[in-house]
Structure 1
């Protein structure tokens, strides 16, 4: 089917897909509109210099909305005409870009190199760029950055050279830390930015190649049955009676005990509910904290999340989780399940109540994300199968769920246990009398 001539109406009607694609113009060969998964559109010109066997080159002409289709077509026509005369516009631009600073490259990457990423991921990338990459490498020219520079950058971030704790606005506070984990994740982002530069022809090799990053150090922690009991008891005490208050002279007034007479610190029912929901759903903290009432389907037992790490997803929730949701106090004018202090805003985090509860339970080393690991480990230990566990967690890849394989009993072991328990029950040597099937007498 012949391509249509690109017009304002044709470009406006182009819908985003899961990956980038180009709608080519049927009137001018080599002129097209590239559409990103985010919905952003830009005009491009594609050509060859040096004959049919030479590689194709692409040049971004401009952004839809800033240029009309006709303006972009005329600009593309000029680029294509120069290519016919042997003039490589893309090559000229690449040489110029190689002389731009790392800060300028980062700015371009956020506009043109993140089309495949979610908005929340782009926001995280922007934070790492502004807080770590620009302060340490921003002034260097892209062509000057070497492997040794990237290695030094990683060490500097790890040592905390970019760490900061400052107030942002009336309510916010920016706390930027160093450490090996931060250094590793930021270097990986930096590598992605330089990969973008290589793909665009700005530089020939990625200076991040060969740099050994620190191990993430994300040791996985799983709650035992006894620890689950301790955590549950601490939450009940925090909600009903309050936790014994420990004096902290630096604490703000709002963080001092709400009941000064008995010196007990009452924890918000919304914070308690958030922790219980994390335990009973296996959701990520952000998914629960940003959950809206309109996303809760009480009738069918689902959370219809509009956004998550893997995009839109539906979470199956159990009757105990539904009961927790039903018991959460609703705040008038606030559409969020875990309501925050500001009007129609969610609670930003539950770090403080979590720290208080886990300390009281004697589980100081427990992280919030470990609740998700524990949910998965219980499912795998119960013989549900990693495929089922992965679907409950919303994993996009089976490889992600494979970390819980050591909890899943081998099918042969499960069969062996079932047979031996049945025989043990028949001969009166039963250790699990309530969970066996008796052998029927003939």
Structure 2
């Protein structure tokens, strides 16, 4: 067996032979370079798992060019130490390949969503988690296997979230922590890389309430972002309900005769069904979407393709703010769609509506509807809610009239 001192220069000088030949290193027993008749050169290591009588095994380190002689020597030393300690490099490589194939983050995260998320989360929670996973997490971690993901990787992922979405890092942190805990519980991972990570600080409570002029301008300018999105924004204003609940509204939940919208438990954020009275303004919006005073019996109310409910709210919000800026001749103070709900609640107070009625309209499980009161207080405030919505409908019409008069 020919031997040489395996160095960069020595390997470059090796010429192709009539048949495959291995040149072994003079200093490191088991380290060699294989030269094919075509001139290809590949670094290898040869070792035994046992005593001198056991069979020899060979492990391919990699081709010259991808590996330098110096790096290949260091890798051979590592592999020979593994073999000496009783760990077969070939078996370890197969386990690593299996992990990279079976525990690749992209497919694994899909299994987590299907096997854990769909079984344990409400639909709204699942939809949000799936969206965050596909938009923010999978594109960044998809090329890594689960065991190879480090704390540094996760910190970098969270650091990439734009400052315009302050609540997202905490949501992503909770989602990833659940995934890694699930992986450890199943035995797919020995330890979560998030064990020593602290969650991002919570976002401070918001108190933004739109002024009357701002609210009217938002409603007026909403028309310019499209019929469907415009209707959604005005329905947020007149009903006080959550964005996802309004966006996912179906015709089957609506009753034009009773002027009611029944939100099922599966779509309510708190898992509690709710009945929302509809005002004249809301009825007008829904008639416009239906194209008739006869509403369909099924399907999404707010849809652009007839198959799914609307999405892409952030883009719509950016467009809306630009339009509002042109109308006001200045930038509107920062606001979110959820602020319309807070504005609704604040105006309920201004109109003298009882706190319990406002809580019932908002479908809150806090305050007057929590604790002992929540157990024994079963009055649903049906008539009181209708009266509150009527007052709000009249107040909105007055606000619109006053704004239009000031613009003339």
TM-score using structure 2 length? 0.51
What corresponds to 1:384 in structure 2? 354
What corresponds to 2:26 in structure 1? none
What corresponds to 1:281 in structure 2? 239
Q: What is the rounded CA distance, in whole Å, between the counterparts of 1:345 and 1:140 in structure 2? A: 32
Shift of 1:237: 7.5
Alpha-carbon contact 1:181-1:216 (below 8 Å) kept: yes
Output one character per residue of 1:76-135: Cα deviation in whole Å (capped at 9) or x when no partner: xxxxxxxxxxxxxxxxx9xx8798343343233123222111344334333333343333
Shift of 1:233: 5.1
What corresponds to 2:134 in structure 1? 130
- 2:120 is the alignment partner of 1:121: no
Give the stretch that moved more between structures: 109-118 or 353-362. Answer: 353-362
The total of aligned residue pairs comes to: 260
Alpha-carbon contact 1:358-1:364 (below 8 Å) kept: no
Task: Identify if the C-alpha distance between structure 1 residues 339 and 319 changes in structure 2 by more than 3 Å, giving closer, same or farther.
Answer: closer
Output one character per residue of 1:128-166: Cα deviation in whole Å (capped at 9) or x when no partner: 3334333333344434444344323322x33x6xxxxxx
**Of 195, 198, 220, the match for 1:212:** 198
Task: Identify if the C-alpha distance between structure 1 residues 300 and 129 changes in structure 2 by more than 3 Å, giving closer, same or farther.
Answer: same
Secondary structure of the residue aligned to 1:328 is helix
Q: What is the rounded CA distance, in whole Å, between the counterparts of 1:199 and 1:142 in structure 2? A: 14
- 2:366 is the alignment partner of 1:398: yes
Q: What is the rounded CA distance, in whole Å, between the counterparts of 2:348 and 2:125 in structure 1? A: 29
Q: What is the rounded CA distance, in whole Å, between the counterparts of 2:195 and 2:261 in structure 1? A: 42
Any unmatched runs of 5+ in structure 2? 1-94, 371-408
- 2:335 is the alignment partner of 1:366: yes
Matches within 5 A, 1:19-58: none
Q: What is the rounded CA distance, in whole Å, between the counterparts of 1:212 and 1:328 in structure 2? A: 49
Alpha-carbon contact 1:278-1:371 (below 8 Å) kept: yes
What corresponds to 2:276 in structure 1? 316
Task: Identify if the C-alpha distance between structure 1 residues 133 and 234 changes in structure 2 by more than 3 Å, giving closer, same or farther.
Answer: closer
Alpha-carbon contact 1:222-1:377 (below 8 Å) kept: no
Any unmatched runs of 5+ in structure 1? 1-92, 161-176, 240-265, 403-442
What corresponds to 1:106 in structure 2? 109
Alpha-carbon contact 1:376-1:389 (below 8 Å) kept: yes
- 2:260 is the alignment partner of 1:302: yes
Matches within 5 A, 1:258-277: 268=226, 270-277=228-235
Q: Which has the larger radius of gyration?
A: 2
Task: Identify if the C-alpha distance between structure 1 residues 338 and 366 changes in structure 2 by more than 3 Å, giving closer, same or farther.
Answer: farther
Shift of 1:232: 1.6
- 2:317 is the alignment partner of 1:351: yes
TM-score using structure 1 length? 0.48
Alpha-carbon contact 2:222-2:229 (below 8 Å) kept: no
Q: What is the rounded CA distance, in whole Å, between the counterparts of 1:358 and 1:346 in structure 2? A: 25
Q: What is the rounded CA distance, in whole Å, between the counterparts of 1:108 and 1:230 in structure 2? A: 45
- 2:201 is the alignment partner of 1:232: no
Task: Identify if the C-alpha distance between structure 1 residues 400 and 346 changes in structure 2 by more than 3 Å, giving closer, same or farther.
Answer: farther
Alpha-carbon contact 1:101-1:142 (below 8 Å) kept: yes
Alpha-carbon contact 1:281-1:321 (below 8 Å) kept: no
Q: What is the rounded CA distance, in whole Å, between the counterparts of 1:341 and 1:149 in structure 2? A: 38
Q: What is the rounded CA distance, in whole Å, between the counterparts of 2:137 and 2:226 in structure 1? A: 38
Alpha-carbon contact 2:260-2:276 (below 8 Å) kept: yes
Alpha-carbon contact 1:231-1:357 (below 8 Å) kept: no
Q: What is the rounded CA distance, in whole Å, between the counterparts of 1:110 and 1:125 in structure 2? A: 8
Q: What is the rounded CA distance, in whole Å, between the counterparts of 1:401 and 1:337 in structure 2? A: 30
Q: What is the rounded CA distance, in whole Å, between the counterparts of 1:347 and 1:190 in structure 2? A: 26
Shift of 1:194: 0.9
Shift of 1:329: 4.8
What corresponds to 2:155 in structure 1? 151
What RMSD, in angstroms, separates the aligned Cα atoms of the two structures? 4.1
Secondary structure of the residue aligned to 1:303 is strand
- 2:253 is the alignment partner of 1:331: no
